[in-house]
């Protein structure tokens, strides 16, 4: 479809609300050429589309994904719905029957807390369905995994071995590193299609081994125009010189200050419930001070994975020091930022750090008798994913999925935030939409071109069959179409 379009008879989301006063918007040369009221002259000789009262929002932006893994794993096996080892075996067997071959089989979103055995599958249980084909099962948080006998032998590890932390990362990146450039590009192609179906026109994605390698960053940088969405790419490593040589303006992503709650490695100030564990700080204060300061000196926006309050404080302390001693508008990021006592939120507001958070985390793990409460207790579980408090303290709240960890689905995220398990942390639809549009555009220094339906902005639009505030999580609107740079790239109108 050509990019000169006149969209009429829709409900357009402008300045934080759906309006009936706008009769149409004119899209030309990839931009929003004009927003027309009833009294305005309509352009001639332009293709007109009757939107039939559909709800039209600015194109949603996901501010934290692992799109390579998400695209790659979408051809594997999602174990998120499994409730027993037997169900896992049945699902794997059915997939292998349908997709025979010798390629590594990636199984993802496994959660031992959701199956009746409350453990990882054992080697012989995986070998029963995949005796010769390489197979890996990744935990839902991505921080631990197990493999079948084929890979145990190849990797020279004992059977029933659980890879955690750095070992987990090394195994996963080794398997990913054996893919061809064609396979890598295919994974990103698949990810872009999933993003469009989920309502996104732009997504931030991490590329690198979270250590010293940038893996295929150059390949994707040189092929960005290939994709029907905008990828905001992060060199996910500690090599500042390499990032600068590649022309990056940011560095990091899931470079780890700590681990995850599921692996008891998220660094927290009080012990996990009924344990003597308080998580792991993966790097020293001196390391982070040196790394972040050096990146800041070179005008690189820094993003760091920090989940527990000890890790968040460790990173934010450096951000705060730099805000006071060398202020720059770089918009450094706190990725995940799950456990935040009020005094820590005060410091985050003072540092100006950007909160890049995942609303689906509360959907899956919040609430009474939820996973957070089971490992932290009721009181601390109410300090998790504090969306309302972040907004009220003028922290720029941005939403992402952490996909492949949770679904690449804007509407799921919006409803998860609006229906937060903790009523004190619920936010409005307008605030949740802002976290996926205006705030997300600000994170990437694109607030003058994205995030609004506004004259001169990119013609990026997400079109729903009904307004967001007319649905619930269990009765959501549907994404019926996505327009990117003025062209219909998903759905039908």
Instruction: Evaluate if residue 134 carries a pLDDT over 70.
Output: yes
CATH no. of 181-450 = 3.20.20.140
Q: Where in the chain is the domain with CATH 2.30.40.10?
A: 1-58+452-493
* pLDDT band at residue 181 under the 50/70/90 scheme: very high
All residues at 6 or more sequence positions from 260 whose CB lies less than 8 Å from its CB, including other chains:
141, 142, 143, 266, 307
* pLDDT band at residue 440 under the 50/70/90 scheme: very high
CB 202 within 8 A of CB 179: no
Q: Where in the chain is the domain with CATH 3.10.310.70?
A: 67-177
Structure tokens at 414: 């919006």
User: What stretch of H or E contains 362?
Assistant: helix 359-365
Sign of CA dihedral 99, 100, 101, 102: positive
Q: Report the predicted TM-score, pTM, of the whole model to 2 decimal places.
A: 0.94
Sign of CA dihedral 299, 395, 203, 408: positive
* Residue-level pLDDT at 41: 85
Q: Where in the chain is the domain with CATH 3.20.20.140?
A: 181-450
> How large is the average pLDDT for residues 114-130?
97
Please, how many CA atoms are within 13 Å of residue 181, restricted to the half-sphere of its CB? 8
pLDDT tens digits along 201-246: 999 999 999 998 999 999 999 999 999 999 999 999 999 999 999 9
Place of tokens 């949770």: 406
* Residue-level pLDDT at 102: 87
The DSSP secondary structure of 172-232, one letter per residue, reads: HHHHHHTS-HHHHHHHHHHHHHHHHHTTEEEEEEEES-SSS--TTHHHHHTTGGGSSSEEE
**Domain 1-58+452-493 CATH superfamily:** Urease, subunit C, domain 1 (2.30.40.10)
Residue 149 to residues 85, 107, 262, 320, Cα–Cα distance (Å): 17, 15, 25, 48
CB 283 within 8 A of CB 267: no
pLDDT tens digits along 81-113: 999 999 999 999 999 999 998 889 999 999 999
Architecture in CATH for domain 67-177? Roll (3.10)
Q: Is 156 exposed, middle or buried (0-12, 13-18, 19+ CB in 10 A)?
A: exposed
Give 129-146 as a 3 state SS string.
CCCCCCEEEEECCCCEEE
User: What stretch of H or E contains 61?
Assistant: strand 60-65
């Amino acid at each position: 479809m050509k990019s000169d379009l006149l969209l009429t008879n829709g409900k357009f989301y402008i300045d934080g609300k759906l309006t009936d006063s706008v009769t149409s918007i004119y899209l030309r040369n990839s931009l929003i050429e004009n927003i027309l009221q009833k009294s305005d002259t309509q352009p001639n000789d332009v293709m007109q589309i009757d939107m039939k009262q559909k709800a039209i929002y600015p194109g949603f932006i996901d501010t934290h994904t692992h799109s390579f893994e998400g695209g790659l794993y979408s051809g594997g096996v999602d174990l998120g719905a499994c409730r027993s080892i037997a169900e896992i075996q049945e699902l794997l067997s059915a997939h292998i029957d349908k997709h025979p071959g010798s390629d590594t089989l990636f199984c993802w979103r496994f959660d031992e807390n959701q199956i009746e055995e409350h453990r990882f599958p054992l080697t012989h249980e995986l070998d029963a369905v995949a005796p010769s084909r390489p197979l890996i099962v990744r935990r839902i948080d991505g921080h631990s995994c197990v493999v079948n006998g084929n890979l145990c032998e190849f990797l020279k590890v004992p059977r029933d071995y659980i890879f955690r932390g750095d070992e987990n990362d090394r195994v996963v990146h080794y398997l990913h590193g054996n893919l061809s450039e064609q396979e890598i590009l295919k994974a990103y192609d698949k990810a872009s299609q999933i993003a469009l179906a989920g309502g996104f026109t732009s997504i931030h994605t991490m590329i690198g081994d979270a250590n010293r390698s940038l893996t295929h960053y150059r390949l994707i940088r040189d092929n960005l125009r290939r994709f029907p969405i905008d990828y905001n790419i992060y060199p996910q490593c500690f090599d500042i010189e390499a990032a600068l040589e590649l022309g990056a303006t940011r560095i990091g992503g899931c470079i780890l200050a700590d681990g995850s709650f599921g692996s008891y490695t998220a660094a927290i100030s009080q012990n996990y419930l009924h344990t003597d564990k308080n998580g792991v700080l993966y790097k020293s204060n001196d390391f982070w001070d040196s790394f972040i300061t050096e990146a800041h000196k070179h005008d690189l926006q820094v993003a760091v994975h920090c989940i527990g309050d000890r890790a968040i404080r460790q990173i934010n302390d450096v951000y705060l020091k730099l805000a006071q001693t060398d202020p720059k508008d770089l918009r450094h990021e706190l990725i995940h930022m799950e456990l935040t006592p009020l005094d820590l939120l005060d410091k985050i507001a003072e540092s100006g750090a950007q909160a890049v958070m995942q609303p689906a985390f509360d959907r899956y793990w919040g609430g009474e008798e939820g996973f957070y409460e089971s490992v932290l207790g009721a009181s601390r579980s109410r300090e998790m994913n504090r969306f309302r408090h972040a907004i009220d303290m003028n922290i720029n709240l941005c939403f992402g999925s952490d996909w492949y960890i949770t679904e690449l689905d804007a509407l799921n995220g919006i409803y998860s935030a609006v229906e937060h398990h903790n009523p004190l942390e619920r936010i409005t639809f307008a605030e949740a939409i802002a976290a996926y549009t205006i705030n997300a555009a600000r994170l990437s220094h694109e607030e003058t071109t994205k995030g609004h339906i506004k004259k001169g902005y990119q013609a990026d639009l997400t079109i729903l069959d009904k307004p967001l505030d007319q649905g619930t999580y269990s009765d959501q609107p549907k994404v019926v179409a996505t327009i990117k740079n003025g062209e219909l790239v998903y759905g039908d109108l």
